[in-house]
């Protein structure tokens, strides 16, 4: 049973329970009034369920922020009403007006406190309460949402096996459905990509890497990117992707993003003149005496006077580098 079905079952049980309690209470007052009590119970439960549906995108994090902001706002309102102006004799003379004024102050400060808290980020709460840290604020403990592209990428099983990802890994249902649709596509390229994504998930499962399939329904017409950002905000999760556009949109929404391409770029080895390294020479260079090798990240190194050593691994010394439109080109000399 998925989450949506379970929620609907709980709502139905709550509706029936409210009707039964209402009928039982009414029968205690008048035997023939049970139907009226049941009707009142059903109406009350229906109103609560409507509020529940309206607040379906409200997370515990947002609720706790709002509650904290409400308390701060009410405290400020109480302090304001304690000043001398509000304790003057006119309040006793015009008691109704004074009560209405006090109520308006509490409502206004409470509302402003809630709105400011909901717009605030967790880092601002850390500044407000510097010695309090919540477990969810640690990025390594945040759940990580995997989007379709990153699953198809195929590097996630190795990264997880190496222990570089902490927290739970979450695959939304719409991502799994999209992979299944691609795997069943008539287009050979899409079918291959979909199968590779499903194989990556199965490999992770076979390696005892815990993956949670998150069942969540969204409004029709939303793109996968919009659903991903909305779900990440709802769960307080981060997104793992290699889609730069998705990363930009998510960061604008205040969602933490891990971009695998940015990680790969940051892990590129920095090679400077004078550095020594072992390099496999795999093909001839542009000039007759040159040979070419590659660093693990794909950076090409041209070795002067290395043509006679093709197919072997040689110890070379970096001589310089040149930035071209195709990337960084490094020149090296054989170390005699």
Domain shared by 116 and 147, yes or no: no
Domain shared by 281 and 254, yes or no: no
Higher pLDDT, 2 or 162: 162
Cβ atoms of residues 108 and 77 within 8 Å: yes
Residue 242 within a domain? yes
Domain shared by 249 and 324, yes or no: no
Domain shared by 152 and 230, yes or no: yes
Predicted pLDDT at 57: 64
Domain shared by 100 and 217, yes or no: no
We report the CATH number of the domain holding residue 226 as 3.40.50.1010
DSSP string of 286-330, one letter each residue: SSTT-EEEE-TT--EEEEET-GGGTTSEEEEEEEEEEEETTEEEE
We report the CATH number of the domain holding residue 280 as 2.40.50
pLDDT digits (tens, 9 = 90+) for 263-308: 877 777 778 888 888 999 999 988 888 999 988 777 889 999 898 8
Residue 294 within a domain? yes
Domain shared by 142 and 261, yes or no: yes
Residue 48 within a domain? yes
Q: pLDDT averaged over the chain?
A: 80
Q: How many domains does the chain have?
A: 3
Residue 235 within a domain? yes
Of 128, 157, 180, the residue that ends a domain is: 128
Of 71, 105, 128, the residue that ends a domain is: 128
Contacts 24+ apart (CB under 8 A), 274-277: 274/317, 274/318, 275/317, 275/318, 276/315, 276/316, 276/317, 276/318, 276/335, 277/315, 277/316, 277/318
Q: Which of 8-17, 113-122, 127-136, 195-204 has the highest mean pLDDT?
A: 195-204
Domain shared by 106 and 185, yes or no: no
Predicted pLDDT at 134: 45
- pLDDT of residue 116 exceeding 70, the answer is yes
- The mean pLDDT of 226-244, rounded to a whole number, is 87
Distance (Å, whole) CA 240 – CA 283: 36
Domain shared by 233 and 169, yes or no: yes
Q: Which two tokens stand for residue 164?
A: 């570089």
Residue 179 within a domain? yes
Domain shared by 122 and 82, yes or no: yes
Predicted pLDDT at 133: 45
Domain shared by 82 and 194, yes or no: no
Residue 133 within a domain? no
Q: Could you list the residue range(s) of the whole structural domain that residue 30 is in?
A: 3-128
Of 243, 266, 289, the residue that ends a domain is: 266
Domain shared by 14 and 101, yes or no: yes
Residue 314 within a domain? yes
Look up the pTM and report it.
0.51
Residue 271 within a domain? no
């Amino acid at each position: 049973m998925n989450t949506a079905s379970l929620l609907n079952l709980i709502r139905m049980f709550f509706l029936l329970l409210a009707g039964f309690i209402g009928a039982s209470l009414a029968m205690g007052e008048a035997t023939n009034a049970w139907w009226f009590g049941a009707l009142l119970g059903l109406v009350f439960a229906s109103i609560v369920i409507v509020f529940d549906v309206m607040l379906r995108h409200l997370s515990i994090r947002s609720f706790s922020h709002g509650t904290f902001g409400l308390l701060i706002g009410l405290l400020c309102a109480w302090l304001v009403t304690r000043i001398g102006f509000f304790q003057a004799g006119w309040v006793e003379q015009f008691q109704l007006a004074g009560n209405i004024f006090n109520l308006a102050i509490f409502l206004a400060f409470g509302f402003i406190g809630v709105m400011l808290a909901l717009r605030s980020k967790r880092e601002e709460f850390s500044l407000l309460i510097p010695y309090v840290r919540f477990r969810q604020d640690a990025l390594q403990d945040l759940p990580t949402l995997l989007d379709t592209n990153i699953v198809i990428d195929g590097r996630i099983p190795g990264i997880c096996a190496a222990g570089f990802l902490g927290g739970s890994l979450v695959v939304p249902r719409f991502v799994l459905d999209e992979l299944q649709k691609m795997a069943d596509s008539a287009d050979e390229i899409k079918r291959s990509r979909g199968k590779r994504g499903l194989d990556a998930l199965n490999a992770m499962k076979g390696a005892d890497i815990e993956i949670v399939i998150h069942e969540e329904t969204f409004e029709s017409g939303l793109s996968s990117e919009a659903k991903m950002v909305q779900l990440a905000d709802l769960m307080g999760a981060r997104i793992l992707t290699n889609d730069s556009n998705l990363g930009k949109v998510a960061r604008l929404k205040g969602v933490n993003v891990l971009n695998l391409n940015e990680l790969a770029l940051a892990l590129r080895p920095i090679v400077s003149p004078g550095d020594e390294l072992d390099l496999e020479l795999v093909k001839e260079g542009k000039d007759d005496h040159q040979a070419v090798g590659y660093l693990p990240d794909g950076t090409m190194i041209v070795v002067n006077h290395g043509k006679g050593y093709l197919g072997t691994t040689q110890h070379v010394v970096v001589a310089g580098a040149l930035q071209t439109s195709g990337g960084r080109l490094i020149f090296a000399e054989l170390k005699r």
